[in-house]
Structure 1
Amino acid sequence: MPPRRRSAPIPESLTPDNLTAIAAALADGKRPTVYLREGTPSLGLAPGASARVLSIDGTTLTVKPSGVNDELPYEADELRITKNPPPEPEKPKPAKSVARPAAARRSGPVPSAAAATKPAGPKPAPAKSTAPAPKPATTPTETAPPAKKSTRRTAARKAPAAVTVTIHGSAENEWSVSVTRGGRKLPRSRSVTPDSVESAMAELGDEQAQAATSSILNAAREEAQRRVDELSRELAAAREALAILDGST
């Protein structure tokens, strides 16, 4: 019988193949499901909670966890494709050693069959020695020097959790910043001014981020200029009407 193939181990977090499959599902209009590796008690999320993927950008996924009315960003290493964690690999059991009795070897000629079948008589008791047993020589005990305590600390430092900073911009030119640390979103987002967002994008030097923010900022500038022109026309008309009224009096 041919040996059975062992199934490949389930990865602990999302793999590049998982990200490719999720991106393809989103392109087809589907909302694939992923699961949180760690819980977020402040949001009532336990480890293994399900979440629907809304969008993906590189290794950052924007998801909506079950029971939470908010969209949260997570990294691929904070999610997994299955609800339960992968089982730990079985440790190989040590092989049991079977003790084999060693064959007793006898020196000298092989006894005859008659001698082998002859019942053995009682063995004589060993003679007791009357000489006193020698006492072990007493030697002064040497005390070992106390071991020096190591002054180095071997405690491993825990690496800080990943931080995600998200800038939200609306069509009304309203901007805010939210921070997520290790999958846990801070309570509230903070409002920021459009000029600070434009300065931050210029400092980052990312062309895609600048293009995305500039589209909203330019639209807001055009709307503001249109409003200024409209109010200017209304003001000119009001002044003209006032001049006519002043001339009539």
Structure 2
Amino acid sequence: MPPRRRSTPTGSLTPENLESLAHALAEGKRATVYLIEPTPSLALPEGTSAKVVSIDGNTVTIRPKGVDDELPFEADELRITRNPPASPAKPSAAKPAASKPASRPAAKVAPRVASPTPTPTPTPSPTAPAPAAPAVVTPSPAPKPAARKARKGPDSVSVTIHAGVDNDWSVTVTHGARRPGKAQPVSPESVSRAVKELGDDSAVQAVEAVITHAREEASQRVAELRRQLEEAQSMLAALDGENP
């Protein structure tokens, strides 16, 4: 390590500081000192803190912050505070008392000359103010009447005609998105008349086809029942003829 100067800078450790540091080490307390000058070889700037390891006379063995080695320093290379103590202000030299200036003779006062009385300037008569222009009032437009809310009409209506397998007809009415109402039975003749009044040929043909089919089935059933009735009557007559 390069040699350090041995000058005694202001603020270095005093004998009282060394005694206080030694007393702290004896009690097991941490003793801290600070470098007065930087140590470029160890990249230690001025004011680096260091832990005191031991004290031998004026030689203080320390472990600077960031260094893992114990280094001996002299007391005049360390101080007890991080920043150097402020140097006492030098007393300023007393300024000589300023001598009083010699009294000057009184200045002679020149006699005043009466100034002529100024002629009063005539005050201009106030002119009459120009008549103000009449204010133009723009009529505000009349408020528009609030638009009336359109009255909601009745819901749409759907009429459904249903024909069952036994030629039983019913009508169901549905209002808008509501559930369909209860089916009401109607006669095939009334459905046929209503569809014809509508004048829709396709609807008339569809209804008439169902009614015609039901009529044919009814006719066949009547014919079958007649045949069975005739058979039953013949059997009854034969049974009657055998009786005494």
Q: TM-score, normalised by structure 1?
A: 0.37
Q: Give the structure, 1 or 2, with the largest relative contact order (CA under 8 Å, sep 6 or more).
A: 1
Structure with bigger gyration radius? 2
Question: What is the TM-score normalised by the length of structure 2?
Answer: 0.38
